[in-house]
Structure 1
């Protein structure tokens, strides 16, 4: 799940361009991960290959969000900014793309044939109900009539919206509660949520063999998703309060990008001895490596024109890309299943079109929809600067 750039959070503060760029890198890797997820899904649920741990991008996004929100709002919320204006800003930044993702979800669902994954035809009224619920961010209960794909996703028109749902919860908790905490109290919150997430991860509570939880309301999934958001989100805020930039950092963007790619490409780790080995790897990434990457990237700056342009472009499209690519993936998955394709070698040319097409769709959504809509909403609903 990708988040808006730090420039969007702080109107007058300098922003961390390397964090923007890393957010974009992670979003691009998520799209690649979902291509391989489709091959696994078509093959009947085999292990996802190549970008094996791409789902950890969600946890990385939550740390980024916590860091940037803490930096942008800790010294303003309740002082120079009201709760109402905070919520308006967050809705203006997040919700237009949520609406567009839902609309595109309907378009691609119709192209797919208006069918659940088992081939059951879905009535138009249920599709429209799913659209209405998605626009108001009401998650689908497993088995509900508007669970139109039949696999218990919170948001069956655009699956990754589940992480944005938890992002909303995090923003709500931040505004009402977390921003009021002292640094020591925030550290206690980080510790408690970290213990909960460590238990969930190390002992594979849901039984997936990985921490890929939160996408459904079924069973312990919602609780796991909440922990998956709360720990990195509050940890990011704590990092923003304690942050002191490292000196003489060069090439931080490229170092962090390569590390992210390497972490996501580590093969699934089989085995269990008291704790699951794959869960241990996930915990090391979330608890130690990701915070270090955020700290390193926040300490660095782009030093040449090319790096600046790359960071700006990838940061700009990161949230639109995350918000609109998955409806395209649904159609791609359906095509894979229908034609019984299970390897990248068989479909690399189509996968390339899907990948590049998702980026182009995200850029078009950014320039022709998201930026104009946010500009109008800001002018209409937010107070003018004095």
Structure 2
């Protein structure tokens, strides 16, 4: 093995764009609220955060930008396998924890998780599929999610696919060919949005390939923002950009809804990435952005076990509006706190251990 491939300079993460980290946390928080609210309001037009699912497209676009920034100039030296190790160490511990939490929620949900619908063998296979990120939409009582134990893992599946394609193809090709691919991806995404009437797919049985179309465009768009150095200097700051991001996620539904979602993904989110990379962070928001960025992925990957329990509680107890407001606001705060504990007690130590083992 070439020792240089494991040199500290090659493995060290580059400096973060702290405002983009902060925006990632805002998006994750909006996803949590969206998941609470979609249980209450199955009609998304009545949901005040009815477009919260578009946060996933923002994640995909941000991922393309960050991967390009972090690895374009060193993946050739570190090698494809070391790149994959880096990504696995960064992402997979929380994939496992989300699967464990999902299994525990199914088995011990006080409001009725219905584990009796599944035998021990099938539960084991569901858990293994979740841990190994193998889509298996067989849980009818959970709307045939690709990953019934941890629904948000569908986007991690496509994130892994994008990372593999990046390592073998995308980092090697010029901006011209990337742009051509992005235009093709935009056309494909437009067809998906028109036919489905929205850009919500990817999570379940029957819309699996919609997820591929969503990451195909957004990852390339983020990568192009980096490759073309399309960073827009501005004074919007973290607060201003957070408002712009939230506005996209709370926009109302109307007749041309599919087109509005499409334009947000095609144009608005890449613009936000360009603005976020070029904005100046005020000292007062620095700690918030750092915390928001660190907590975003743990929150995203650990919150859904609570959603299944909340769904069963809502179905059995029919709480009123005031009670729901308390549950959702309090539950969101508790989930942020819980994800912080998971990060500190599990994710960071595991990643440090794996990184140290890798260094040896």
> What is the CA-CA distance between 1:97 and the residue it aligns to?
0.1
Equivalent residue, structure 2, for 1:362:
339
CA contact (8 A) 1:51 1:266 kept: yes
Are positions 1:256 and 2:244 aligned together? no
Are positions 1:16 and 2:28 aligned together? no
Equivalent residue, structure 1, for 2:7:
none
For residues 374 and 76 of structure 1, what CA distance do their matches in structure 2 show?
A: 21
Match of 1:52 among 50, 53, 67: 50
CA contact (8 A) 1:114 1:121 kept: no
> What is the CA-CA distance between 1:311 and the residue it aligns to?
0.2
> What is the CA-CA distance between 1:150 and the residue it aligns to?
4.7
Are positions 1:134 and 2:113 aligned together? no
CA contact (8 A) 1:10 1:73 kept: no
Are positions 1:90 and 2:48 aligned together? no
CA contact (8 A) 1:127 1:148 kept: no
Number of aligned residues = 349
For residues 223 and 139 of structure 1, what CA distance do their matches in structure 2 show?
A: 12
For residues 222 and 31 of structure 1, what CA distance do their matches in structure 2 show?
A: 22
> What is the CA-CA distance between 1:268 and the residue it aligns to?
1.5
Q: Any residues of structure 2 matched to 1:1-386 within 5 Å, and which?
A: 11=12, 13-41=14-42, 47-78=45-76, 80-112=77-109, 113-115=112-114, 121-141=117-137, 143=138, 147=139, 149-201=141-193, 203=194, 205-206=195-196, 209-218=197-206, 221-247=207-233, 249-269=234-254, 271=255, 277-304=256-283, 306-341=284-319, 344-381=321-358, 383=359
For structure 1, the 5+ residue unaligned runs are: 1-8, 272-276
> What is the CA-CA distance between 1:243 and the residue it aligns to?
1.4
RMSD of equivalent CA atoms: 1.8
> What is the CA-CA distance between 1:10 and the residue it aligns to?
7.6
Alpha-carbon spacing, 1:82–1:38, altered in 2? closer, same or farther (3 Å) = same
CA contact (8 A) 2:237 2:282 kept: no
CA contact (8 A) 1:111 1:331 kept: no
For residues 265 and 44 of structure 2, what CA distance do their matches in structure 1 show?
A: 25
SS at match of 1:149: helix
**For each residue in 1:39-76, what CA deviation from the matched residue of structure 2 results, as whole angstroms up to 9, or x when unmatched?**
124xxx66451101101000010000000101111111
CA contact (8 A) 2:13 2:70 kept: no
**TM-score after normalising by structure 2:** 0.92
CA contact (8 A) 1:130 1:148 kept: no
> What is the CA-CA distance between 1:12 and the residue it aligns to?
5.1
**TM-score after normalising by structure 1:** 0.86
For residues 47 and 94 of structure 2, what CA distance do their matches in structure 1 show?
A: 29
For residues 309 and 158 of structure 2, what CA distance do their matches in structure 1 show?
A: 26
Runs (4+) off by over 6 Å: none
**For each residue in 1:283-341, what CA deviation from the matched residue of structure 2 results, as whole angstroms up to 9, or x when unmatched?**
1111111111110110023121x300110010000000000001111101110011134
> What is the CA-CA distance between 1:148 and the residue it aligns to?
6.5
For residues 333 and 22 of structure 1, what CA distance do their matches in structure 2 show?
A: 28
For residues 292 and 59 of structure 2, what CA distance do their matches in structure 1 show?
A: 14
> What is the CA-CA distance between 1:233 and the residue it aligns to?
0.2
CA contact (8 A) 1:114 1:122 kept: no
For residues 40 and 88 of structure 1, what CA distance do their matches in structure 2 show?
A: 41
